[in-house]
Amino acid sequence: MPKDVHPQIQAIIDIMAALGVPKIQDMTVPAARTLVDQTALKRLETYPAPAVAQVTNTSTGAGYGHVPVRIFHPTTAQNTPAIVFFHGGGHVLGSLDSYDTVTRFLANTTGATVISVDYRMAPESPFPAAVEDCFDATRWALANAAALNIDPAKITVCGDSAGGNLAAVVALMARDAEITLAAQILIYPVIDYRGGTPSYDQYGTGYGVLETAGVKWFTDRYLPDAAQHDDWRATPKNAASHAGLASALFIIAECDVLRDEGTAYEAQLKAASVQTQIIQYAGMTHGFFNYLGLVDDAENAHRAVADFLKETLA
């Protein structure tokens, strides 16, 4: 047992080992997607999806990429804040269904309408398809704020892992397009697809769902051309400027290969005079934000998002 892993996380690692769950890097894409979806369904047996006031499945429509979205209204109140949410999964895995519980809980905890985005994924649709879809969905939310019953001045982008990467990139694109976002929430985001930080060496093997080899597996599918790794739309730290970005909350897992690039990006934004807040959860591994009902810090992190938005949107 790694000494720095929280006991609740270690229990999950032990269960996965006992069940013989294969590593992502040893699987085909269809098998990995099936595993993610089946795991999400199994979790519903012990942690039912929270009820919300209304759920709507729709599309962004013409002019906005026809991107499928699922909208969670936690309340019947008018003109609520909104979170445009991009799920994780290395740009290859994950879905509206596998993130349904997370987005419901996030809506209820924050009081914000959550717009979960079903962006195109690799390898069928590699970079920059996901970036285009996520930006289109964000523009659509702003353009249709009245119909969606959301406050156009209180729209936040949010995502975990690959979704955190997309949120960071969309925040940059929004600034460049003179679109004002209220905030960006980056949950253990992928910031540099070139990797190589010390946390890759420290936590690259034996720390749960994401290993160094797994990052390469995802990268090879999302960014098939090595030259794309340097593109700021894949590696947002490479943007020419980070000034003028929306305020940012970073949720970081201590025992995660992505830890160092997340903390470095927070410092980069702060140096560009962006308002930032960073919370590193001791003993947590990649993916803990999704472990509702299993790991106390999953709920704690959701509440931290709510607290950040309450302060930022005041």
Question: pLDDT at position 2, please?
Answer: 60
Is 65 in contact with 132 (CB distance < 8 Å)? Answer: yes
Residue 294 domain-assigned (yes or no):
yes
Question: pLDDT at position 50, please?
Answer: 96
Question: pLDDT at position 195, please?
Answer: 87
Residue 233 domain-assigned (yes or no):
yes
Q: How confident is the model at residue 1 (pLDDT cuts 50, 70, 90)?
A: very low
Residue 260 domain-assigned (yes or no):
yes
On average, the pLDDT of the chain sits at 96
Question: pLDDT at position 310, please?
Answer: 97
Strand, coil or helix: 247: strand
Q: What is the mean pLDDT of residues 162-167?
A: 98
As annotated, the active-site residues are 161, 256, 286
Detail the DSSP E strand segments found in the chain. 54-59, 68-73, 80-86, 113-117, 150-160, 183-187, 247-255, 276-285
Per-residue pLDDT of 2-17, as tens digits, reads: 669 999 999 999 999 9
Q: Which CATH number do you get for residue 36?
A: 3.40.50.1820
Residue 2 domain-assigned (yes or no):
no
Does residue 123 have a cis peptide bond before it, meaning omega lies within 30 degrees of 0? yes
Per-residue pLDDT of 54-98, as tens digits, reads: 999 999 999 999 999 999 999 998 999 999 999 999 999 999 999
- Residues of the domain holding 163: 7-312
Residue 15 domain-assigned (yes or no):
yes
Burial class of 169 by CB neighbour count within 10 A (0 to 12, 13 to 18, 19+): buried
Residue 293 domain-assigned (yes or no):
yes
Residue 47 domain-assigned (yes or no):
yes
**227-231 contacts: CB < 8 A, separation 24 or more?**
228/127, 228/193, 229/193, 229/194, 230/194, 231/127, 231/128
Please tell me which residue, 116 or 314, carries the higher pLDDT value.
116
90 Rama class: left (phi>0) / alpha (psi -120 to 50) / beta: left
* Percent of the residues in the chain that have a pLDDT greater than 90, as a whole number: 96
Burial class of 57 by CB neighbour count within 10 A (0 to 12, 13 to 18, 19+): exposed
Residue 1 domain-assigned (yes or no):
no
- Per the structure, the count of domains in the chain is 1
Per-residue pLDDT of 111-159, as tens digits, reads: 999 999 999 999 999 999 999 999 999 999 999 999 999 999 999 999 9
